[in-house]
Structure 1
Amino acid sequence: MEVKIDTKEKFTVVTPIPTELTVNIAAAIREKSLEKLQEPIKNIVLNLENVFSIEEAAAAVLATLQQEFYEKNTSFVICCLQKPVEAAFAEADMLDVMNITPTESEAWDIVQMEEIERELLSDDDI
């Protein structure tokens, strides 16, 4: 799988290199991302800046993956969508249910805010 992986303090940035995101690439991203749930740094930022087309099935894999992360109290944020990819998510009615930001920096902010929110909610349980 051709991806760049960059681990930060609170999250891992996964950036696919191919310009088309196929269902096979999405499945490989899913597999690698789910492995991260076993590591200390569990949050994922998926940077799609290089992707200019996406198969609908690949978009569905990413939507399901995001839900899997949130069910495990972990963040999964997609950023840097190119216009054709954003349109594909919109056509599949997935744009509104996914956590998408315009820039990687904003994705980092979302991850950090969600981390704080989880900490506050866990403190309320005490």
Structure 2
Amino acid sequence: MQVKIDTREKFHVITVEDPQITANMTDGLTSRLETYLQNDVKNIVFNLSKVEGMDLGAAEALVKVQQYFYEHNASFVICCIQPALETYLDEQDLLEVMSATPTESEAWDIVQMEEIERELLDDDEPGFQADLSQDN
């Protein structure tokens, strides 16, 4: 699979250059994407602007990769899905479980908001509870 990678401060933009993503491409793609979790910059914006079609197995693999990233405190936002592919993903009930945006800049915004959210959650004191009981 041909991809173009653009690294930013908080995320990598990976643009798929192939018009089709097939199920047999997903093993290599999945392992390649998961290596980003070892980097300082873990977040991915996955640009599908050039992708016209995708096998069901490939689509399901993308959903699993996206979930895997979120489980490891990293963002994986899909953007620029072509209308025909968007319809297909919706018909397969996969679009609703994907974190997807119409444009790349909206994907950047989501990644940055999720980074801020993770930073705020990391700053919270675990186990803190206010004692609201009154002694009479």
Length-normalised TM-score, structure 1: 0.95
State the AA in 2 paired with 1:7. T
Deviations 1:25-46 (A, max 9, x none): 3332221110010011100010
Overall identity of the aligned pairs, in %: 53
Q: Which runs of 5+ in 2 are unaligned?
A: 127-136
CA RMSD of aligned residues (A): 1.0
- Distance across 2 between alignment mates of 1:69 and 1:114: 12
Give 2:3's aligned amino acid: V
Report how far residue 125 of structure 1 moved. Answer: 3.2
Partner residue, 1:89: 89
State how far apart, in whole Å, the 2-side matches of 1:37 and 1:112 are. Answer: 16
Amino acid at match of 1:45: V
Q: Which moved more, 1:40-49 or 1:21-30?
A: 21-30
Structure with greater Cα Rg? 2
Aligned partner of 1:68 in structure 2 is 68
State the AA in 2 paired with 1:76.
F
The alignment of Structure 1 onto Structure 2 pairs a total of residues equal to 126
Distance 1:33 1:125, change over 3 A: farther
Q: Within 2, Cα distance between the matches of 1:107 and 1:123?
A: 25
8 Å CA contact 1:56, 1:88 repeated in 2: no
Structure 1 distance, partners of 2:112, 2:4, is 21
3-state SS of paired residue (2:81): coil
Q: Distance in 2 between matches of 1:7 and 1:23?
A: 26
Counterpart amino acid of residue 65 in structure 1: V
Output one character per residue of 1:75-125: Cα deviation in whole Å (capped at 9) or x when no partner. 000000001110121011011111000000000000000000001111113
Q: Which runs of 4+ in 1 moved over 6 A?
A: none
Tell me the residue number matched to 2:23: 23
| Structure 1 partner of 2:45 | 45
Counterpart amino acid of 2:94? M
